[in-house]
Each structure stands twice: as structure tokens, then as C-alpha cells.
Chains A and B, each alone.
Chain A
Amino acid sequence: MTTTQMTLKRTVVSTFNVWVGFLVIMILVGIGGMANVLINGLQVTGLSDRVPWGLWITHDLSSIGLGAGAFTFSAIVYLFRMKRFEPLARAAVFVGFLGYTSAMIALAMDIGRPDRFWHPLVYWNVHSVLWEITWCVILYSAVLILEILPIVFSHGYFQRWPWLAKFGHTLHKGAPVMAVIGMGLSLLHQSSLGATYGVLSGRAIWFKPSMPVMFIISAVAGGLSLTLLATMLTGKLTNRELIGTDLKREVARFAGYVLLGYLYLKIWDWAATSYYSHAPGTASALSRLQATTPYTQTFWWLEVFLGGVVPAMILLYPNWRRNDSALMVSLGLIVMAVVVNRWNVTLSGLVVPPDWSPGILGGVVAASYFPSWTEVAVSIGILGYGLLAFTLGVKYLPIYIKSDGK
């Protein structure tokens, strides 16, 4: 008894424990919010029939998009056999797994009937992109679990059951197969998340074929960036060299090129739909958007300039790329821009709904949305879950291995 107390007194509270404690508080806040949602229903949100999607959908889209590093690295390493990228593959898969599970928690809160979450599996509407997304996300999460299990089973704790380690080893041998399946599923649903908006012919601001393509390319850029950023941050905080400098800069350069491609598409998407043409529905929606919301500003400044042009320049200019601080800032900016983009896309189409009244007053009223405290609390909780799981995973699992095989 006495000894325990003495050690407790003497122990200096480590930064790690403070960090974990902070994340646990975030999770507790989230659990409070979730309880409020489940008990009182979605009336506790800031959502309405005119703006039925908001913060949580942004959270879903962002965490799935930023989880795209998993399929990108799996494909690079196990499919295209570029083994030099292998040290990042496990981290990418782990980040992806956390992203997808985060999205599922947010979705479970967002749907009005969480008890019916299994309905899309039984009742099919093959004409719905959301049906396809549900299937892909569930199947891909299964792939991610299969890719993660070998890492978990290689932990010392599981050595008492040798068959588990063997099973994990067998699973790992199937990595190329899972990379193919994972890439197929990801290419489908990452794009379909954009198509969720892109196919809505009644919503002029969204209805364009570029949506799915822009979603997947931004997801690849964001996924690469988040994986590299998380790795660099972990390395700095634990004073370990997790990946080699060459690898780090090569991934950064790759992300830069993807970002450049995305910017090219984005500029043409804007030019073709808003500058060189005049589709009545789109034009009126965009002018109302500019008049009543900050989304035009956030599009140009946060998405295009701060989240696109600036990081692309840093990532592609070798002298700047060599500066770790600049590199990490630019990766953070890309992650930020993906989140802002998902918010902008979701909200811009909803707050300026199409004008269907034959009179002149019907279209004037713009809808509005601001997330409620409960929505924010739930999102904080989910974020806390992702960060805590990553922290513990990096500490206790062999997420980062030496580049020379074992």
C-alpha cells in the first residue's frame, strides 16, 4: 500500500499520460453527445428538412477521404511492387481503418434509425449510389481488418497462441490479393461519395460529372498527406526515425503531383461550369451562394489557395520540400482543405436549394445551418477515438517497421 502511494507521489506525470487523458475526455464528451442523440432523436441537431446533412456528413466524407492512403499505399507496395514504400504501408492501412470506423460511428449517429443500419444489405436498391457506397464501405472495412490483423497478431501478447501468429502470417501472404480488392472497392466508393452529389439532376450546383473524379483525386492527395503527416508527427514526438528521408520526400513529391492534377481539374471544373458557360440553375445558385454565404470565399482562399496552390508549391519545389516544418505545414493544409471541401460541397448545394416557385419570392429565402453543441460533441468524441487509437496503436503495435523487411 505504502509503496504504491510513494511511487505515485514520485512519478512525474508524463506528457504521454496527459495526452491520453485529454483524448479520453474528448471521447467522454462524445459519448455524452451520442447519448443525447439516441435519447432525444435528431431534434438535438442543427439540421432541418432543408439542410438535412451537415457536420456529421462532412465528418464521414472527410474521414473516408483521408483514409484513402490505405488503398493508395497498398496498391503501390503490394500491387505495383514498389517495396521502398513498404515502411508506410502499415501506417496507411491503420489510418484508413481508423478513418472508416470513424465514418461508421458518425453515420450511425446521423441516420434516424440506427437500429436499421443493416437494411441496405438486405433491401437492395441498385440504382442508389448510397447503396453501392454502403456495400463498398462495409466490404472495404473487412479488407482493412484483414490487413490489420497480421499486425495485431504479431504483438507479443498473442505469442501464447502460436496458431494466431501463423494465421496472421497466412493473411499477410494474401496482401496482394487484398490490395487488388481494396483498390477496386476504394476506386468505386471514393468516387461514389462525390457521385452522391454529382448525380442529383435536380440540384444544379452539384449536378456535374466531375464530382466523382474530383472526390477520388482529392482523397488520394489527402490520404497520402495524412499518412505522411501522422508519421512525421509521431517521429518528431517520440524522437524516432520511423521512415527514411528519401522515402518521406518521395511521398511528399507524389502528393504534390496528385494535388497539382487535382487543381488542374478543379480550375477547369470551375471555368466550365461558372465562367465559360451560363446554365441558368447553376448561375443563380452560385450568385445566391456568393451573396448569402462565405462559401465562395472559403472555396478560393481555403480550398484553392491555402489548401492547393501553397502546398503544391512547397511539395514540388525541392528546396522547400527539404524543410520538415514547411513540409508538415503543407501536408496539414492539404488535410484541412479536404475537410473544408467536403463541408463546402455538402452545404453549398443545400443552403441554396433550387427555386421551384413560379413566383418571384419563393427562391429568395436561403436555408441556413449551424451545428448544434451535440453535433460538435459527437464529432469531438469520434476525433478523440481516432487519435487515441492511433496513439495506442503506434505505441504498442509494430506499425512502423524497418524498411529492410523484418
Chain B
Amino acid sequence: MKKKKSDRPAIIGRRDVLKIAGATGAAVVFTQMVTTGPLSTEAVEGIGRRTHSSESSGEHEWHMVIDLSKCIGCQYCIMACQATNDVPEDEMRWNVGFPETTENGVDFFMTRPCLHCQEAPCVKVCPVGATWVREDGIVAMDYTRCIGCRYCEVACPYDVRRFNWKVSNKANPYQPKWGTAEVPPRPRGVVEKCTFCVQRIDRGLEQNLMPGVDPQATPACVNICPVGARIFGDIFDDESPVSIYLAQNDTFRLREDFGTESKVHYVRPEKEA
């Protein structure tokens, strides 16, 4: 009896037991690493940051309207931006503007901040997660993480991003006339861009101010516009200036065919007759 039994190959041998134990152990360790360990979402901040999001999940979502039919081309918005965000070099402008003409020959002045795309091409490509879509829809930058590879500049179809090719040694010509610096200067070798004056929005909300309504909590370019051509606010709030303006006007966004879902809306320079 005994002999017969040992002749038969065991269904599960010692080696198999070891293999199964090893595999189970490896699986447990792997699961640990991915859920709470060094590979977890919390530990790997790049994954935690929303680099691939389709809808915002926050309380607010900040949008801007630029009414090209109202704009008079004074360029105050450009200068206020450079003063407030401490951009001394004109070629580094976050908020660009240039004279334009429609197909029908109507002259207008085109301005463009960062469009804060919900499906931002720049955010998806950043290899280190140094730029991401915040819960309130703002496309933010982490200057301490950026490695300066400039893939975001390559990916952005709107020429929004600016690289610090050098340390600017000239005094900011727009300060203090058009505002004072509210953010520290960025180091050489990183990419920067318009932030919708996020420092004002975050501080304003802490002080129970409403961005788009209270000037202290509203982007500098919106505040300074003498003709009210820039409107800002929370699109989740039906009573916000931006929601009301969007409801009352025909608007479009730049190159919607790219699927970027940008948060800056434009009113055409020539109103339909």
C-alpha cells in the first residue's frame, strides 16, 4: 500500500507549494506597493494629479469670456498681466495681443491668455506631472518639478507656454504703474504660463470673496479692462458674470476641433446684423 502511494506522482509537490507560496507572496507585496506602498496614488503624486481628466469635480470651475466686439485694443490687460505676474520681457508675455482682421475686413484686436483646456494637451504630455488640471479647472504649473523638456510647448496648439531661456536682468517696465508683483519670479530653465491669477482666486475664496465679482479675487487683466471686454467667473454658478454673459451672447472657443475643451470663450468682433 505504502509503496504504491509513493509511486504515484503527487498532485501538489513540494516545489509547487514553494511556487504557489512565492507567487502569493509576490502578489501580496505587489498589491501592497500599488495600494499603500511606494507605487500608490498617494505616494506617486504625478498620478494623483489630474493629468487625464474629462470633467471637473470641484465646487467651482473658472471660465473667461473675451468680447472682441467690445475690445478697443488698448493693451492694458497685457501690461497689467506682466506687472502682476512679474513678466519683465515682452517676448515672454503670458497674455498676448495683436491687431487682426476678419474675413469681411473688420479690424479687431485679438488677445489670448492661457485657455485652461479641460482636455489640456500640455498636461497629458508632461513626463513628470509638473502641470495638471486643478479641481477648479485651472491648468497649474509646479516650477519646482518642471525639468524644462518643453514637450508641453510642443503639444500646446495655442502657443500659450513660455520657457525661461534666461534669467531676466532688466527691471519690469510695467511696475508699479500697472500693478505690483504678486508671485515670485520663476527660475531659469522651467516653463511658465498664465494662471488665471490663481493667487488671487485662492486667497479670495479664503476671504469669502467671489472671483469675477470682487476685484481682489479676479484676474488682473479682467479688472483693468476699461470697457469690460473680459468677463470672469464660476460657470457652475448661474448668477456669475460669466454664466450670464455666456447665456446672453453667441460665443465660440479657439479651434474647438482640437477637442481641448478650453475655458476661454470669445464673442465675435462683428455682431451679426
A contact residues vs B (CB 8 Å cutoff): 40-43, 45, 47, 49-50, 52-53, 110-113, 116-117, 119-120, 123-131, 133-134, 196, 199-203, 280-281, 349-350, 353-354, 356-362
Contacts and interface: CB of A to CB of B under 8 A. Distances in A.
A50 B125 contact: no
Interface in B226-273: 252, 254-255, 257-260, 266, 268-269
Given A50-B159, A112-B188, A357 B100 contact: yes
Given A124-B46, A125-B46, A131 B257 contact: no
Contacts of A50: 159
Contact of B151 (A116, A119, A196, A358): A196
Size category of the B interface is 35 or more
Interface of B: 44-47, 49, 51-52, 68, 91, 98-103, 108, 110, 112, 121, 124-130, 145-151, 153-159, 161-167, 188-191, 252, 254-255, 257-260, 266, 268-269
Contacts of A359: 100-102, 108, 110, 269
15 contacts: A42-B189, A112-B191, A119-B145, A124-B44, A124-B47, A127-B51, A127-B124, A128-B51, A128-B129, A199-B124, A202-B155, A354-B258, A356-B158, A360-B100, A361-B101
B155 A52 contact: no
B252 A358 contact: yes
Contacts of A199: 124-125
B266 to A, nearest CB: 7
B165 A43 contact: yes
Nearest to B131: A125
B128 A125 contact: yes
Given A125-B46, A201-B259, 18 more contacts: A41-B166, A112-B146, A112-B188, A112-B190, A113-B148, A116-B128, A116-B147, A123-B130, A125-B49, A125-B126, A128-B151, A281-B257, A354-B255, A356-B157, A357-B100, A359-B269, A361-B100, A362-B110
Contacts, number: 174
Given A124-B129, A356-B255, A358-B266, A113 B147 contact: yes
A201 B121 CA distance: 7
Contacts of B259: 201
A111 B155 contact: no
Contact of B164 (A112, A130, A201, A354): A112
Contacts of A52: 150, 153-154, 163
Contacts of B165: 41-43, 45, 47
